[in-house]
């Protein structure tokens, strides 16, 4: 082999090695990015990413008029599961719930874990009545679900449609008030409504909006 060919072979090896290293670095960065926005236990997105996505939805609503709805989900009497069955059982319920909810929504809908047993679902390009229907479908799925033999799980759900000029905290506040209305009405319900002091619709059973 001539000297020039040998040099080319060496250079080709260096370039290949560099390409592999760059690809590994890119993969590693992507992994770190996912970890930074993901809840370690459940695989849902975390609270930090939730705040970012709410702000993005508000900006799109302001600029393009794109509708969006926020759905807050809270597992009813979750402390009783932990106390009676242990934290491993509680963790299994949390992880199973995320899998169940994701099966019932679109790929563009985003699920976040915002607290211990509290989750938020962001529904882009969704009307208020459409969000109520999605929320009721999820509630019914959870009610029929048996994650632990001999035990049932239910959720209370609050739904709020984004209104022009709202801040993230105001939007969350609307959904949170609806959620607590559902809990006060007896749990295992969907409540929708939203502006402060406005009537809130409470859905029971399998009725749809």
Structure-block tokens of residue 24: 């590994």
What's the CA angle centered on 173, arms 126 and 183, to 5 degrees?
Answer: 90
- The shares of helix, strand and coil residues in the chain, as percent rounded to the nearest 5, are 55, 15, 30
Identify the three-state secondary structure at position 102: helix
> Which residues does the annotation mark as catalytic?
117
Q: Return left, alpha or beta for 202; rule: phi > 0 is left, psi -120 to 50 is alpha, else beta.
A: beta
| 49-55: long-range pairs with CB below 8 Å, 24+ | 49/112, 50/112, 50/114, 50/120, 50/122, 51/168, 53/110, 53/112, 53/122, 54/122, 54/168, 54/171, 54/172, 55/168
């Amino acid at each position: 082999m001539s000297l020039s060919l040998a040099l080319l072979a060496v250079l080709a090896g260096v370039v290949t090695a560099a390409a592999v290293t760059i690809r590994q670095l890119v993969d590693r960065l992507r992994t770190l990015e996912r970890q930074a926005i993901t809840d370690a236990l459940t695989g849902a997105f975390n609270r930090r990413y939730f705040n970012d996505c709410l702000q993005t939805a508000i900006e799109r609503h302001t600029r393009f008029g794109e509708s969006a709805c926020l759905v807050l989900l809270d597992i009813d009497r979750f402390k009783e599961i932990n106390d009676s069955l242990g934290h491993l059982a509680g963790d299994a319920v949390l992880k199973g719930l995320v899998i169940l909810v994701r099966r019932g929504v679109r790929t563009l809908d985003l699920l976040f874990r915002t607290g211990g047993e509290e989750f938020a679902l962001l529904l882009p390009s969704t009307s208020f009545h459409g969000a109520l229907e999605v929320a009721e479908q999820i509630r019914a799925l959870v009610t029929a679900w048996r994650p632990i033999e001999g035990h049932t799980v239910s959720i209370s759900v609050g739904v709020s449609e984004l209104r022009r000029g709202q801040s993230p905290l105001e939007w969350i506040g609307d959904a949170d008030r609806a959620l607590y209305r559902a809990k006060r009405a007896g749990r295992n319900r969907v409540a929708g409504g939203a502006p402060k002091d406005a009537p809130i619709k409470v859905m029971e059973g399998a009725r749809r909006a």
